Amino acid sequence: MRVILAMFLGALGIAAEVSVAEVWSRATVPGQEAGAIFARITGGDVDDRLLGAASEAAATVELHEHAMGQDGVGQMREIAGGLAIPAGGRVDLKPRSYHIMLIGLRAPLAKGATVPVTLRFERAGAQRIEALVLDPWAMAFDDR
Ligand SMILES: [Cu+2]
């Protein structure tokens, strides 16, 4: 079915682009000034790359990855050069892995609210998405 659809779209000259689903974040607790956004990204017909993100919800927005430090403590750092999204592949932004970091939240994130974010892809361009705010301890989109 997937192949047939690809052929059909190909015949129309329409390329399947990157798609983003299950976009979520966590409600903040008092005093918390940073948040993270998670999502499932599915590659399109061609290799692409997530270069960055922007949101009016925070002063600074960065693409982060999680790494284990030499002391065994998890650390976050900015992804240099963006995140590869292979054609037909799937990349999950999830806790303790890749995420979009919101630094300097302009307002607390309340459960049930949505956070607008614009993702910038190398080939697919800008994609506006909305993250659903879940519980502060949520570990996946289904934790509701
Ligand atoms: Cu981070």
Distance 62 CA to ligand 1 centre (A): 8
> Mean pLDDT over residues 86-108, rounded?
96
Number of domains in the chain: 1
Instruction: Say if 109 falls within a structural domain.
Output: yes
Cα 42 from chain centroid (whole Å):
11
Is pLDDT above 60 for 9? no
Q: What is the DSSP letter of 109?
A: P
Q: What is the pLDDT of residues 16-46, one digit of tens each?
A: 889 999 999 999 999 999 999 999 999 999 9
Write out the residue range of the structural domain in which residue 91 sits.
17-134
Instruction: Say if 144 falls within a structural domain.
Output: no
Distance 36 CA to ligand 1 centre (A): 7
Distance 43 CA to ligand 1 centre (A): 23
- State residue 107's pLDDT score: 97
- State residue 104's pLDDT score: 98
